[in-house]
C-alpha cells in the first residue's frame, strides 16, 4: 500500500478493479483493528442514498474477486460486520505500523533498513476519494501518519550509523526531504556536507533552509550556528550524537530557557539485594518508565543512554540534572530483602533542589513481574501529574505578558480545569497565545479543541459552530504531531460531537495505542462507550484511567462515565454510588449533577435526587431531561430509563426548544 496499491498471489500480480471506492475500502479494512459494521462502511463510502448496502455489497464482491483464492475466504462478513482475514499475508503498512508500535529504538540496523525499505512512495499513491469525504479524510490522516513514521525510521537509522558512513549522508538527505522543518534533520545534512568537504553545497543548502524556516515563522539561528560550529571544529563535529558520548558537563542552565517545554531525566534506580549485591530489577524498571514517559510526549525526556552513562560515572541525580540541563530529575531505590522488594521514588526540581513528590511501593518477590507493570503505571502517572501541577502553578504566578508558549499552555490548563464559562474563555485566550508563540505545539491546539468541545457540550455557545471549531483545532494538532496522543484524543472527542462514534473510538484507541499510559485517552473511551457502545468496556476504561491518574482534574468525569455504564447494564444502585462520588469531586459541573440526580432516581432514592435538582435550579435556568439527553448519545433503552428517572426527581415536563 506504500506507493501504488498492488496485490500479488505468489509471484503473480492481480489486476485490481478500477473503482476508487473499492480500493479505498480494501485499505481501510486491512488496517482496521477489528471488524467494521456495514452501516459504518456505508457512511465511509458515501454510498448512493437509495441503496447504500447494495453499493457496499458490490464493492465487497469486487474485493472477493481479488483476495479470495484457493478456497481461502479473505473477505468475511459475520453479524453484519466486515473484516479481512490476512493470516499468512505480507502487508507492508501493517509491518511498518507493528514495528513502530513495538519501539523502533530497539531494532537492529538491518531490521530498520528492511522496515524503511517498505516505505516507498506515499500511502495509496495517486488515490483520490473526493466522492467519499469520510474515507478521503481517513486517507489523508493515514498519509500523514506513515510519512511521520518514515521520517522517524530514517532519523533512528541515521543515528545508529558511524558518522563517516556514506549511507549517513544519503539518510540525512532523505530525512530532510521528509521533514524539512525538523532542525535535527537540517543539522544532520549540514554536518554531512561539511564532513564530506562540500562547503559550497553546505552554504547553498543553509541559505535555502533559512528561507524556508523564516517563511514558516521558525527560528533558523540553530542552523546557522551548526554550520559555523562544523567549520570551526572540523569533520563530523555537528553530527547529532547519542548523549552518552558527552564530554565534560556544561554549565548549569538558566532557570528556564525561553519558549521551551519542561524537561525530565529519570536516573537509573539504585538496586540492592539484602546482601548488598546488585540486581537488574531497577535497570529494567528505569527503562520502562522512560519509555512510557516518552510515549506520552507531555515534556522532553532524556534518553536512556544519557542517564545510564552518567550513572556509570558515579554522578548523583542532582548533579546529573544540572549536567543535562533539565528542569526535573526522578530517582529511586529498589531494595530486595526477605522475599519482598520495595521501590522508593523521588521527583525533584533541579533549579531549587526542592522535592516535588516522593512515594514508595512494595510487593512480594513472586509477584515481581505482575506488580512491576502496576508500579510503572503508578510512577509514570504521579510524575506526569506532579510536573503538570508544578508547571501550572508556576505559570499562574508569572505576569501574563511574560509567558512563553509552554507557560501560556499551562496557564490555559489552569483555567480549563475549572469548568466554568468564564474560565473556559480565559483558557482559550492563553491557548491562543501559546499557539501564536509556537504554532508547532500540538498540545496547545488540543487544548483549544477542548475549550470548543466544552462550549458545545455545556451549550455555552452555539453547538454546531463550536463543534466545527473543536474539529478544526484537533485537525491542526494532528497536522503538527500525529504521534502525540493528545492530538488523537482531541480528534476523537470532536468526532463524537459530530455523532461519528465509530471514528471517534478509532481515534481514541489510536491515542492509547500510542501511549498506553495516557489516562485521558482511556477516560474518553469510557465516556463514548458508556453511552451507546460496550458498557463493560467503558467500566474497564474508566478504572484504567483512574488507576493511571488517581488525582486527575477530570476525575469527576471518569467516575461519572462509570455511572452511565452501570445504567446501561441495569445496575442502578452501582450507578448511583459512582455518580455520587463524581458529584462530590471538585469542579463537577451541572451535567455531572444531573447524572447524579437521575441515577439516584433510578436507584429508588428520589428524595436525594430531587434535592440535587432543586440546588441546580437555583443556579441554572434549565434542568430538564430533554436538555440532558440532547447533550449525550444514548441508546433508546438508556434514554427511556433516564426519562423514567426524570419523572421521579422533577426533571420532566414539556420539551425544551432546540438550542443547537
Residue 510 lies in a domain: no
Rounded Cα distance between 267 and 286, Å, is 7
**Does an H or E element contain 118, and which?**
none
* pLDDT given for residue 255 in this prediction: 46
* pLDDT given for residue 50 in this prediction: 66
Pairing between β-strand 340-349 and β-strand 12-14 as defined by DSSP bridges: unpaired
Name beta bridge partners: 271. Answer: 334
Helix ranges, 161-198 (H):
166-178, 183-195
Closest C-alpha among 467, 461, 454 to residue 424: 454
Cβ neighbours for 574, distance < 8 A, ≥ 6 positions apart: 563, 566
- Cα end-to-end distance, the chain, whole Å: 42
Residue 116 lies in a domain: yes
Name beta bridge partners: 616. Answer: none
Q: At what angle do helices 405-416 and 368-397 cross, to 10 degrees?
A: 100
Phi, psi of 21 (to 5 degrees): -60, -45
Residues 540 and 569 in one domain: yes
Rounded Cα distance between 452 and 472, Å, is 10
DSSP for 410-446?
HHHHHHHTT--HHHHHHHHHHHHHHHHH-TT-HHHHH
Residues 235 and 103 in one domain: no
* pLDDT given for residue 121 in this prediction: 75
* pLDDT given for residue 420 in this prediction: 92
Pairing between β-strand 328-337 and β-strand 340-349 as defined by DSSP bridges: antiparallel
Residues 142 and 177 in one domain: no
Average pLDDT across each block of 10 residues of the chain; the chain has 660 residues. List them in order. 84 84 88 88 73 84 88 88 90 86 78 83 72 77 84 86 78 82 86 78 76 70 74 47 37 44 90 58 87 88 82 86 89 85 92 90 77 88 92 88 90 93 95 92 95 95 95 94 93 95 95 93 97 96 93 94 98 97 91 96 96 85 86 95 96 53
Rounded Cα distance between 400 and 389, Å, is 18
Q: How many distinct structural domains can be found in the chain? A: 5
Residues 596 and 659 in one domain: yes
Residue 48 lies in a domain: yes
Residue 375 lies in a domain: no
Q: What is the CATH number of the domain that holds 294?
A: 3.40.50.10610
Q: What is the CATH number of the domain that holds 438?
A: 1.25.40.10
Residues 360 and 462 in one domain: no
Give the range of the structural domain holding residue 441, as residue numbers without chain letter: 398-500
Rounded Cα distance between 351 and 618, Å, is 48
Rounded Cα distance between 454 and 426, Å, is 13
Residues 186 and 126 in one domain: no
Residues 322 and 358 in one domain: yes
3-state secondary structure at position 360: strand
Rounded Cα distance between 326 and 290, Å, is 14
Q: In this structure, are residues 541 and 526 in contact, taking their beta carbons and an 8 Å threshold?
A: yes
Residue 157 lies in a domain: no
Residues 33 and 129 in one domain: yes
| Number of CB atoms found within 10 A of residue 454's CB | 23
Residues 293 and 415 in one domain: no
Closest C-alpha among 473, 449, 461 to residue 421: 461
Q: In this structure, are residues 285 and 343 in contact, taking their beta carbons and an 8 Å threshold?
A: yes
Residues 170 and 294 in one domain: no
Residue 283 lies in a domain: yes
Residue 496 lies in a domain: yes
Rounded Cα distance between 365 and 445, Å, is 45
Q: In this structure, are residues 265 and 387 in contact, taking their beta carbons and an 8 Å threshold?
A: no
**Does an H or E element contain 60, and which?**
helix 52-67
Closest C-alpha among 76, 55, 68, 69 to residue 131: 55
Rounded Cα distance between 524 and 541, Å, is 8
Q: Name all contacts of 634-638 with Cβ < 8 Å and 24+ positions apart.
A: 634/531, 634/532, 635/531, 635/532, 635/568, 637/568, 638/531, 638/532, 638/564, 638/567, 638/568
* pLDDT given for residue 254 in this prediction: 40
Pairing between β-strand 270-272 and β-strand 300-301 as defined by DSSP bridges: unpaired
Three-state secondary structure readout of 258-309: CCCCCEEEECCCEEECCCCCCCCHHHHHHHHHHHHHHHHCCCEECCHHHHHH
Residue with cell 507531555: 298
Residues 236 and 283 in one domain: no
Residue 469 lies in a domain: yes
Taking the C-alpha atoms of 651, 652, 653 and 659 in order, what is their torsion angle to the nearest 10 degrees?
A: 70
Last residue of a domain, one of 468, 500, 532: 500
Closest C-alpha among 557, 501, 497 to residue 528: 501
Cβ neighbours for 254, distance < 8 A, ≥ 6 positions apart: none
Residues 278 and 232 in one domain: no
Last residue of a domain, one of 241, 271, 305: 241
Last residue of a domain, one of 467, 500, 533: 500
CB neighbour class for 628 (10 Å; exposed up to 12, middle 13-18, buried from 19): buried
Rounded Cα distance between 634 and 613, Å, is 21
Give the CB-side neighbour count of residue 634, counting CA atoms within 13 A: 24
* pLDDT given for residue 463 in this prediction: 93
Residue with cell 469525504: 133
Rounded Cα distance between 292 and 512, Å, is 11
Amino acid at each position: 500500500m506504500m506507493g501504488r496499491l498492488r496485490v500479488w498471489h505468489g509471484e503473480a500480480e492481480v489486476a485490481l478493479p478500477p473503482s476508487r471506492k473499492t480500493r479505498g475500502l480494501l485499505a481501510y479494512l486491512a488496517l482496521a483493528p477489528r471488524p467494521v459494521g456495514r452501516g459504518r462502511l456505508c457512511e465511509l463510502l458515501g454510498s448512493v442514498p437509495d441503496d447504500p448496502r447494495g453499493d457496499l455489497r458490490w464493492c465487497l464482491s469486487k474485493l472477493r474477486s481479488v483476495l479470495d483464492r484457493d478456497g481461502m475466504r479473505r473477505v468475511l462478513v459475520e453479524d453484519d460486520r466486515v473484516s479481512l482475514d490476512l493470516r499468512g499475508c505480507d502487508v507492508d503498512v501493517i509491518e511498518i505500523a507493528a514495528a513502530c508500535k513495538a519501539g523502533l529504538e530497539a531494532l537492529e540496523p538491518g531490521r530498520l533498513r528492511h522496515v524503511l525499505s517498505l516505505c516507498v512512495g506515499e500511502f495509496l499513491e495517486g488515490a483520490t476519494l473526493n466522492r467519499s469525504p469520510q474515507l478521503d479524510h481517513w486517507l489523508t490522516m493515514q498519509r500523514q501518519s506513515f510519512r511521520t513514521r518514515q521520517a522517524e525510521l530514517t532519523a533512528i537509522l541515521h543515528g545508529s550509523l558511524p558518522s563517516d558512513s556514506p549511507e549517513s549522508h544519503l539518510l540525512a538527505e532523505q530525512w530532510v526531504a521528509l521533514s524539512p522543518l525538523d532542525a535535527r534533520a537540517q543539522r544532520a545534512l549540514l554536518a554531512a556536507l561539511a564532513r564530506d568537504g562540500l562547503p559550497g553545497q553546505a552554504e547553498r543548502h543553509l541559505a535555502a533552509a533559512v528561507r524556508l524556516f523564516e517563511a514558516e515563522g521558525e527560528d533558523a539561528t540553530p542552523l546557522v550556528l551548526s554550520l559555523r560550529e562544523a567549520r570551526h571544529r572540523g569533520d563530523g563535529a555537528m553530527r547529532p550524537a547519542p548523549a552518552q558520548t558527552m564530554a565534560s558537563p556544561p554549565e548549569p542552565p538558566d532557570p528556564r530557557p525561553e519558549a521551551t517545554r519542561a524537561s525530565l531525566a529519570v536516573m537509573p534506580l539504585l538496586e540492592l539485594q539484602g546482601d548488598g549485591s546488585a540486581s537488574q530489577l531497577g535497570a529494567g524498571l528505569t527503562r520502562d518508565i522512560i519509555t512510557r514517559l516518552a510515549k506520552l510526549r507531555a515534556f522532553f525526556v532524556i534518553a536512556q543512554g544519557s542517564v545510564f552513562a552518567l550513572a556509570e560515572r558515579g554522578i548523583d541525580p542532582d548533579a546529573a540534572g544540572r549536567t543535562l540541563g533539565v528542569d526535573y530529575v526522578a530517582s529511586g531505590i529498589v531494595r530486595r530483602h526477605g522475599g519482598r522488594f520495595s521501590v522508593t521514588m523521588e521527583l525533584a526540581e533541579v533549579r531549587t533542589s526542592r522535592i516535588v513528590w516522593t512515594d514508595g511501593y512494595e510487593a512480594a518477590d513472586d509477584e515481581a513481574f505482575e506488580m512491576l507493570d502496576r508500579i510503572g503505571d503508578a510512577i509514570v502517572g504521579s510524575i506526569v501529574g506532579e510536573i503538570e501541577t508544578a508547571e501550572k502553578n508556576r505559570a499562574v504566578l508569572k505576569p501574563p505578558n511574560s509567558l512563553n508558549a509552554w507557560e501560556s499552555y499551562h496557564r490555559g490548563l489552569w483555567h480549563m480545569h475549572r469548568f466554568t464559562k468564564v474560565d473556559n474563555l480565559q483558557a482559550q485566550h492563553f491557548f491562543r497565545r501559546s499557539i501564536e508563540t509556537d504554532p508547532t505545539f500540538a498540545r496547545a491546539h488540543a487544548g483549544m479543541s477542548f475549550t470548543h468541545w466544552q462550549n458545545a457540550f455545556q451549550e455555552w455557545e452555539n453547538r454546531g459552530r463550536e463543534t466545527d471549531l473543536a474539529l478544526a483545532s484537533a485537525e491542526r494538532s494532528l497536522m503538527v504531531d500525529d504521534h502525540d496522543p493528545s492530538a488523537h484524543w482531541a480528534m476523537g472527542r470532536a468526532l463524537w460531537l459530530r455523532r461519528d462514534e465509530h471514528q471517534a473510538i478509532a481515534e481514541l484507541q489510536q491515542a492509547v495505542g500510542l501511549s498506553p499510559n495516557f489516562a485521558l485517552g482511556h477516560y474518553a473511551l469510557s465516556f463514548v462507550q458508556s453511552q451507546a457502545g460496550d458498557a463493560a468496556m467503558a467500566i474497564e476504561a474508566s478504572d484504567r484511567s483512574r488507576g493511571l491518574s488517581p488525582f486527575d482534574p477530570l476525575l469527576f468525569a471518569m467516575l461519572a462515565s462509570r455511572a452511565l455504564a452501570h445504567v446501561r447494564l441495569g445496575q442502578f444502585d452501582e450507578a448511583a454510588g459512582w455518580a455520587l462520588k463524581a458529584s462530590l469531586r471538585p469542579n463537577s459541573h451541572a451535567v455531572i449533577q444531573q447524572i447524579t440526580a437521575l441515577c439516584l432516581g433510578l436507584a429508588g432514592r428520589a428524595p436525594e435526587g430531587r434535592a440535587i435538582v432543586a440546588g441546580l435550579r437555583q443556579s441554572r435556568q434549565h434542568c430538564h431531561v430533554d436538555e440532558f439527553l440532547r447533550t449525550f448519545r444514548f441508546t433508546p433503552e438508556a434514554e427511556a430509563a433516564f426519562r423514567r428517572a426524570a419523572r421521579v426527581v422533577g426533571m420532566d415536563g414539556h420539551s425544551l426548544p432546540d438550542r443547537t
